[in-house]
């Protein structure tokens, strides 16, 4: 019974897709048969002159395009949606081409048996499109049920996601929506462009996307409100912890008693004001909280760049003194200051002094209340 139904269906397809060709295509035959139409010599020359068909190149290119699309339905496994969507238009275009060139083809068959490339491609294309519709009818006759299930699945998962406050987008269902698009294309191809089932499924698919957008808007709104509340709570907590830490921080005592202390303080302050990273920060206090210089000396060995077998040594002799600096950044509240450890480095060989402070290392800053800077 099913085979009989399919047979009838495929017969109906041939008349459905190619109805516009049916009233004349049976007349086409091979040379030597009955003449389709008698022409005078001038009329025949005009009919067989390709220049009489100014759109020939464009029409032939369109026929080639259709032929390529339906050439081998074994390749349709990659993408069935496009050829299904294009099918009705392809039927209309091939019918229009056949109508436009039927006199040219028939006269060519009757008088020189050379109808040309377009005629052969037209017949091949018509056969391939017929094969494609058979293929679709055999494999995708129940797509309306499948499409409905896909849409119901999308709506159900969207609703569940919304309940759990998870954002969901239509792109998550890209595969399912692609399937639905194909199912609708298949139904329209097999049953007609204005098939009620296809139109209903199209409406459902569009409504499901709108529903997703609506639920997403609601979820996003709730999520944004929660994020703002969490951010405010976090900022208040961090501010409180910062203020508590600043209040508990005390300046260390200055214990260095070297005769060069004030000279070092003056030079460090001058170096701070010219440093590219620190010059915009207001220096409040310099505290020499180390009692003694730490000395480091020795020899640093390096391989000669021009001779890899030659190693040279360079003596070094440094003295380091740790220093605490207290300062304010432009964005600091008036009651807040920062404190971090800097270093005075004395080169005992070259008799030079360097002041090392890295103001970009904000994470190493320790907050302190300005009233505690004593």
Mean pLDDT of the chain: 80
User: What pLDDT does 97 receive?
Assistant: 94
Give the residue with greater pLDDT, 35 vs 311.
Answer: 311
Q: Is pLDDT at 332 greater than 80 in this prediction? A: yes
Q: Is pLDDT at 22 greater than 50 in this prediction? A: no
pTM (global) more than 0.75? no
| DSSP symbols for 107-148 | HHHHHTS---HHHHHHHHHHHHHHHHHHHHHHH-TTHHHHHH
User: What pLDDT does 374 receive?
Assistant: 78
Percent of the chain past pLDDT 90, that is, above it, reads: 34
Question: What is the pLDDT averaged over residues 176-200?
Answer: 80
Query: What is the sign, positive or negative, of the torsion defined by CA atoms of 192, 193, 196, 199?
Result: positive
Question: What is the pLDDT averaged over residues 6-28?
Answer: 37
* First-to-last C-alpha distance (Å) of the chain: 102
Question: What is the pLDDT averaged over residues 327-336?
Answer: 89
């Amino acid at each position: 019974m099913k085979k009989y139904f399919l047979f009838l269906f495929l017969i109906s397809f041939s008349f459905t897709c190619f109805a516009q060709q049916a009233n004349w295509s049976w007349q086409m035959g091979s040379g030597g048969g009955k003449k389709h139409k008698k022409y005078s010599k001038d009329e025949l020359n005009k009919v067989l002159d390709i220049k009489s068909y100014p759109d020939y190149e464009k029409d032939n290119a369109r026929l080639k395009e259709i032929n390529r699309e339906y050439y081998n339905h074994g390749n349709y496994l990659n993408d069935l949606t496009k050829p299904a969507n294009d099918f009705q238009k392809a039927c209309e275009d091939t019918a229009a081409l056949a109508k436009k060139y039927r006199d040219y083809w028939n006269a060519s068959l009757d008088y020189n048996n050379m109808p040309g490339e377009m005629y052969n491609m037209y017949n091949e294309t018509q056969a391939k499109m017929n094969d494609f519709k058979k293929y679709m009818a055999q494999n995708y006759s129940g797509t309306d049920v499948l499409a409905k299930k896909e849409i119901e699945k999308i709506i159900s998962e969207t609703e569940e996601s919304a309940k759990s406050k998870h954002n969901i987008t239509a792109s998550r269902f890209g595969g399912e929506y692609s399937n639905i698009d194909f199912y609708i294309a298949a139904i329209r191809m097999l049953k007609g462009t204005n098939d009620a089932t296809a139109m209903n499924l199209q409406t459902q698919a569009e409504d499901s996307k709108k529903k997703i957008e609506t639920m997403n808007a609601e979820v996003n709104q709730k999520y944004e409100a929660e994020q703002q509340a969490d951010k405010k709570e976090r900022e208040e907590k961090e501010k409180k912890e910062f203020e508590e830490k600043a209040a508990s921080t005390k300046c260390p005592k200055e214990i260095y008693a070297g005769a060069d202390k004030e000279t070092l303080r003056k030079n460090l302050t001058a170096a701070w004001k010219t440093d590219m990273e620190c010059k915009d920060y207001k220096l409040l206090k310099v505290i020499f909280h180390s009692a003694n210089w730490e000395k480091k000396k020795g020899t640093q060995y390096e391989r000669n760049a021009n001779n890899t077998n030659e190693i040279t040594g360079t003596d070094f002799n440094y003295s380091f003194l740790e220093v605490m600096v207290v300062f304010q950044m432009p964005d600091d509240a008036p009651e807040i200051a920062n404190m971090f450890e800097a270093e005075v480095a004395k080169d005992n060989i070259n008799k030079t002094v360097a002041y090392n402070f890295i103001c970009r290392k904000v994470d190493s800053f320790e907050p302190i209340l300005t009233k505690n800077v004593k």
